[in-house]
């Protein structure tokens, strides 16, 4: 009798343990896919920022289950179904997550379960609605421009600015509610990439993120980016660089500083850069005799040196120094300066200290004039 009691007690404890297990468990239904098809789980690789496969499940009776290894830290993950385009975005966390997948609209699938994913889908829902409103507004603005309705256009521009302000406030508020969530780093990364917040603002907010989340690969990547940005903030000494000129010679920044130096990141394929080039030429011609120097760093593609040189000639840029590694967005100088969009300009004083950046047209010319007085 005693042995039976012990056995029953052990069984009860075992069942209780199973019921209390809140580990990383995925379950779901899939409509419109025959049995035997696979469900694939992948997650963001911290090294190359691309998804890597981590597990698969087989669909049986329109359902699937996966008991995953509990992640040490959350990560951005993806679920896809064999033969179906698109995927479901979710965050790996030590919870039971449920997916009810309609293969006709897999991207609209929401993940049920876990505080990380609840926060994620609140954010994704906001972005989806913001994008819808912005697209609608852009269409209306185009119509107003065609109709030459300046009053309507001005009203739409004000509404668009209001939408951007609301978006900024929403992200800040959502961040404050989720400092111990993977989403916190996603929001800060978007703020930095979309330039809705300065690197100083993002750095200040990042300090509030929990230590648990700072261990994630995405957080480490954000830290590295913020480090690069801090190196090119106003008041910092401009990072030293060297690179090949059109003639194949080695050019060094520190050997070519003027009383004021403009380091201009551009490319032959960049239309906004080409539009801005005449303004830069006018500014250079106006102030070159007073000590202005310009250094153009091109982000042209590999094997397209001819297009780079042709653009220099066409835009009358031969008057100053040019550098390019012809590595597109992998250019080491651009990475060192944290450049993710062009045109981008950094204005340096005679000691190589950054005194202003990302000025164009009259703003650039006025700043150069002020510095040279």
Structure tokens at 338: 């944290």
What pLDDT was estimated at residue 116? 94
- Copy the structure tokens of residue 268: 């032959």
Give, in degrees to the nearest 5, the angle at Cα 328 between 256 and 266: 50
Confidence (pLDDT) at 200: 85
Q: What is the pLDDT of residue 5?
A: 37
DSSP 8-state code for residue 254: G
Cis omega (within 30 of 0) on the bond before 284?
Answer: no
- The distance between the two most distant Cα atoms of the chain, rounded to a whole number of Å, is 104
**Predicted local confidence at residue 18, as pLDDT:** 38
- Residue 216's pLDDT is what? 94
Strands 88-92 and 75-81: antiparallel
State residue 103's pLDDT score.
87
**Which domains, and CATH codes, for the chain?**
21-113 (2.60.40.180), 116-231 (no CATH), 242-372 (3.40.30.10)
Residue recorded with tokens 């406030």: 169
| Strands (E) located in 17-106 | 25-31, 38-44, 51-58, 63-67, 75-81, 88-92, 96-102
Q: How far apart are CA 21 and CA 91, in angstroms?
A: 19
DSSP lists the bridge partners of residue 41 as 55, 79
Q: What is the pLDDT of residue 135?
A: 93
pLDDT means over runs of 10, the chain (373 residues): 37 36 82 92 81 93 93 93 94 94 87 94 95 93 92 92 94 96 96 86 95 94 87 88 94 94 97 95 96 97 96 96 95 91 95 93 94 90
In sequence order, the β-bridge partners of residue 56 are: 40
Given this model, what pLDDT does residue 306 score? 96
Q: What is the pLDDT of residue 74?
A: 93
pLDDT, residue 242, reads 95
Task: Identify any residues that bridge with 156 across adjacent strands, giving them in sequence order.
Answer: none
Identify the residue whose tokens are 């293969």. Answer: 103
């Amino acid at each position: 009798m005693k042995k039976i009691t012990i056995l029953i007690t052990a069984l009860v404890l075992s069942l209780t343990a199973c019921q209390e297990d809140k580990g990383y468990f995925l379950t779901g239904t899939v409509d419109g896919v025959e049995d035997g098809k696979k469900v694939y789980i992948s997650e963001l690789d911290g090294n190359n920022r691309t998804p890597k496969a981590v597990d698969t499940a087989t669909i049986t009776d329109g359902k699937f289950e996966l008991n995953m290894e509990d992640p040490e830290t959350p990560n951005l993950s993806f679920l896809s179904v064999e033969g179906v385009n698109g995927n479901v975005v979710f965050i790996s966390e030590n919870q039971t997550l449920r997916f009810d997948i309609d293969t006709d609209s897999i991207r609209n699938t929401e993940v049920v379960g876990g505080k990380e994913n609840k926060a994620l889908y609140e954010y994704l829902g906001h972005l989806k609605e913001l994008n819808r409103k912005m697209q609608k507004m852009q269409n209306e603005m185009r119509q107003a421009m065609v109709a030459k309705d300046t009053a309507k256009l001005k009203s739409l521009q004000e509404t668009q600015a209001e939408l951007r302000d609301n978006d900024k406030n929403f992200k800040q508020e959502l961040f404050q509610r989720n400092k111990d969530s993977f989403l916190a780093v996603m929001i800060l990364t978007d703020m930095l990439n979309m330039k809705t917040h300065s690197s100083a603002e993002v750095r200040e907010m990042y300090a509030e993120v929990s230590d648990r989340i700072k261990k994630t690969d995405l957080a480490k990547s954000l830290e590295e980016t913020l480090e690069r940005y801090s190196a090119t903030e106003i008041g910092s000494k401009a990072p030293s660089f060297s690179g090949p000129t059109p003639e194949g010679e080695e050019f060094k920044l520190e050997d070519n500083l003027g009383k004021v130096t403009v380091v201009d990141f551009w490319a032959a394929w960049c239309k906004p850069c080409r539009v801005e080039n005449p303004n830069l030429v006018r500014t250079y011609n106006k102030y070159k005799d007073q000590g202005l120097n310009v250094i153009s760093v091109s982000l042209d593609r590999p094997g397209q040196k001819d297009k780079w040189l042709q653009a220099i000639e066409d835009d009358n840029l031969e008057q100053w120094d040019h550098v390019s590694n012809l590595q597109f967005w992998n250019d080491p100088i651009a990475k060192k300066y944290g450049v993710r969009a062009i045109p981008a300009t950094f204005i340096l004083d005679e000691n190589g200290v950054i005194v202003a950046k990302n000025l164009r047209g009259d703003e650039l010319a006025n700043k150069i004039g002020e510095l040279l007085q």
